[in-house]
Amino acid sequence: MFLKILLLSLLIPFCIAIDTVTANESLPDSGILLSKERNFALGFFSPISSRYRYLGIWYNKLLPEQTVVWVANRENPINDSSGALSMSSDGNLVLHASTDQNFPIWSTNVSLKGRNACKAQLLDSGNLVLVQNERIVWQSFDYPTDTMLPGIRLGLDLKNGFNRFLTSWRSADDPGIGDFSFKLNPTGSPQFFLYKGLIPYWRGNPWTPSVSPTIPQYLFRYTFTNTEDEIYYSFAVDDKSVITRTVVDNSGLLQSLNWDNGSRRWKQSWWAPKYPYGHCGPYSICNFNNVDAYECTCLPGYKPKSLMNWYFRHGSAGCVRKQQQTSMCRNREGFIKVAGVKLPDTSIASSMNKSMSSFGCEQLCLRNCSCKAFAISDFEMKGVYCLTWYGELMDMTEYRGGSDLYVRVDKIELGTFLLLLLALP
């Protein structure tokens, strides 16, 4: 009985504000903040074989693993247990250690209006929020580390020029900024890249209205938004028993993982890259399904730049025009459809805001002799969304459910293609 009362009295102070930090409160190295339903914990941790201390957020219930989803002081580890998270007099969250009491190791560093009390709260989504006057003034979801959780919006906030992206840890025991990042590139028409340093390592599908705004799939809802205010990708899960995250690891693997309650382990459900960016070179398509043949094939009207390289399966030099002496500029050229591909790199593409007809899109491309290809996708049933490419066509992949690409070809290629069509039974 006595023990019970003692336990209760120990529990009560925690129950009041287990998930928040307010003015004059401090979270020491030994402390822990739990979200309301105890899904996530905020506290200090050391990666596997590291003696450094970091402030981070991890899943609280998924034992025995400690899966960290966010780190505050990635680049400024604390080398002892003197770290403490507190609220500064201006309402910002600050992280101090014994080594530097004057200058914080990390801070939310937002300018706050007035002296109204702030509070910091760890939500059950894994988001740490700083709230002033019921308004979120800072959130960890705006500063993701290597992990994307449901609700995080990866991409650009165009109003304040803010790009949210993932960056890998440096190594399994160093959460510092590593080589790989998964980031929106808004140049041309928006698309996501996995970068190694500044170099594209893998590319996601470009944005088109047909993959927008919300694609319902089994358990998940994916959103890709492209407006004047923001361009972002996010996903949501309605079933609370589904625990999922997308992470870029320090070897450059981008993967989606689901928690398997039976084996108590993370299970991979999707991963990239299967082949790196530009694996087959310009004007060439990768096809992983054809096990017997070489995975690179040239677009219609193109041939391997070097047959020797092709024979030895080095595709990165790509393909060149078959008839280089035949102009493709107002010389009875046309388009050949390539069905079911990941559309080429859209950083050299331009897109039409407004819906137009598919004929209009074809004419738009035909009129401009530097236009190499076009693609159309349904635009809210009111017409089509038109994408046109002006430059080298890079990084296409054949896959079921891919888009149709219309490739500009000269009159000889077009003639041969039409003859072949006629010869079909």
Ligand X SMILES: *[C@@H]1O[C@H](CO)[C@@H](O)[C@H](O)[C@H]1NC(C)=O
Residues that bind ligand X (CB under 6 A): 23-24, 79-80, 99, 104, 107, 109, 228, 241, 261, 350, 352-353, 368, 370, 390
Closest distance of CB 350 from ligand X, Å:
5
Identity of the residue, 220 or 390, whose beta carbon is nearer to ligand X in the bound complex: 390
Closest distance of CB 136 from ligand X, Å:
18
Structure token digits, residue 169: 């840890």
CA–CA dist 81, 292 (Å, integer): 58
Closest distance of CB 108 from ligand X, Å:
9
CA–CA dist 270, 202 (Å, integer): 14
Identity of the residue, 80 or 90, whose beta carbon is nearer to ligand X in the bound complex: 80
Identity of the residue, 48 or 63, whose beta carbon is nearer to ligand X in the bound complex: 63
Q: How many CA atoms lie within 13 A of 108 on its CB side?
A: 26
Identity of the residue, 167 or 388, whose beta carbon is nearer to ligand X in the bound complex: 388
Instruction: Collapse the DSSP code of 192 into the 3-class scheme (helix H, G, I; strand E, B; otherwise coil) and give the result.
Output: strand
Closest distance of CB 121 from ligand X, Å:
15
Q: DSSP label at 411?
A: H
The pairing of beta strand 26-28 with beta strand 20-22: unpaired
Closest distance of CB 390 from ligand X, Å:
4
Closest distance of CB 406 from ligand X, Å:
16
DSSP assignments along 43-105, one per residue = EEE--TT---BEEEEEESSS-S---EEEES-TTS-BSSS--EEEE-TTS-EEEEBTTBSSS-S
Identity of the residue, 101 or 353, whose beta carbon is nearer to ligand X in the bound complex: 353
For residue 39, which phi and psi values (nearest 5 degrees)? -75, -40
CA–CA dist 268, 270 (Å, integer): 6
Residue among 132, 156, 122 at smallest CA distance from 142:
156
Identity of the residue, 6 or 23, whose beta carbon is nearer to ligand X in the bound complex: 23
